[in-house]
């Protein structure tokens, strides 16, 4: 009785990040009318990761249930946090996004004495905090999503016969 293969885990982690990135603009528009500024950005990010992890948890529920649930979800969460952190770091370091990020930080803080090192440290802190939030929200969503789908006896017998 084998659980998720490593390839399934990678597909689940990348699916989680991609679904969250696809859902984020929709929630940004929905929450943008309710609140202004960075509050709607943060809220849309959290809700999009929660919904994406519920979807991925439901889709990969059979593989998660066959293995130790906490271990399987933990591996998916760590890989998705690594993928999201890599994506965010590339976005922060992108030459086209750098002026937008600099203007965004300038609008939030009076940073006349900030150097580029300070701006990069702020970006690294922001990405780290986002990764921590991503881990917590994704773990909760994957756990609940995998609980929503109950394995039927036929599917368990078919999956055992294949392996």
How confident is the model over 115-141, as a mean pLDDT? Answer: 82
In which band, very low, low, confident or very high, does the pLDDT at 104 lie, cut at 50, 70 and 90?
A: low
In angstroms, rounded to a whole number, what is the distance separating the alpha carbons of residues 147 and 163?
23
Side-chain-facing half-sphere of 103: CA atoms under 13 Å = 5
* pLDDT, mean over the chain: 79
Q: What is the 3-state secondary structure (H, E, C) of 119-141?
A: HHHHHHHHHHHHHHHHHHHHHHH
Q: What is the pLDDT of residues 15-68, one digit of tens each?
A: 998 998 898 888 888 877 776 666 777 788 888 889 999 999 999 888 888 878
Measure CA of the first residue to CA of the last residue in the chain; give whole Å. Answer: 7
- Look up residue 80 and give its two tokens: 């998705």
Q: How far is the CA of 2 from the CAs of 7, 53, 72, 94, in angstroms? A: 13, 22, 11, 41
Q: What is the pLDDT of residues 65-83, one digit of tens each?
A: 887 888 889 999 999 888 8
Better-predicted residue by pLDDT, 69 or 122: 69
In angstroms, rounded to a whole number, what is the distance separating the alpha carbons of residues 38 and 101?
13
Domain ranges of the chain: 6-162
Query: Which is nearest to 141 in space by CA: 16, 51, 14?
Result: 51
Tell me, what's the pLDDT at 115?
A: 73
**In the block, residue with structure tokens 């803080």:** 109
Angle between helices 98-108 and 69-93 (to 10 degrees): 100
Neighbours of 78 (CB within 10 A): 15
Tell me, what's the pLDDT at 144?
A: 92
Element (H, E) at 83: helix 69-93
Asked if the model's pLDDT at residue 152 lies above 70, the reply is no
In which band, very low, low, confident or very high, does the pLDDT at 1 lie, cut at 50, 70 and 90?
A: very low
Better-predicted residue by pLDDT, 45 or 159: 45
Asked if the model's pLDDT at residue 101 lies above 70, the reply is no
Using only C-alpha atoms, what is the Rg of the chain?
A: 19
Better-predicted residue by pLDDT, 155 or 39: 39
């Amino acid at each position: 009785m084998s659980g998720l293969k490593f390839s399934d885990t990678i597909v689940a982690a990348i699916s989680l990040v991609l679904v969250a990135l696809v859902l984020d603009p929709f929630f940004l528009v929905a929450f943008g009318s309710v609140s202004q500024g960075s509050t709607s950005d943060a809220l849309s990010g959290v809700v999009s990761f929660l919904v994406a992890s519920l979807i991925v948890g439901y889709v990969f529920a059979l593989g998660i249930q066959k293995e130790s649930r906490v271990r399987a979800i933990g591996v998916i969460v760590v890989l998705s946090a690594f993928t999201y952190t890599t994506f965010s770091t590339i976005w922060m370091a992108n030459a086209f996004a750098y002026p937008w990020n600099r203007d965004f930080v300038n609008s939030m803080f009076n940073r006349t004495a900030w150097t580029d090192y300070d701006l990069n440290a702020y970006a690294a802190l922001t990405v780290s905090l986002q990764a921590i939030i991503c881990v917590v929200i994704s773990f909760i969503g994957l756990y609940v999503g995998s609980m929503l789908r109950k394995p039927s006896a036929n599917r368990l017998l078919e999956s055992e016969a294949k392996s």
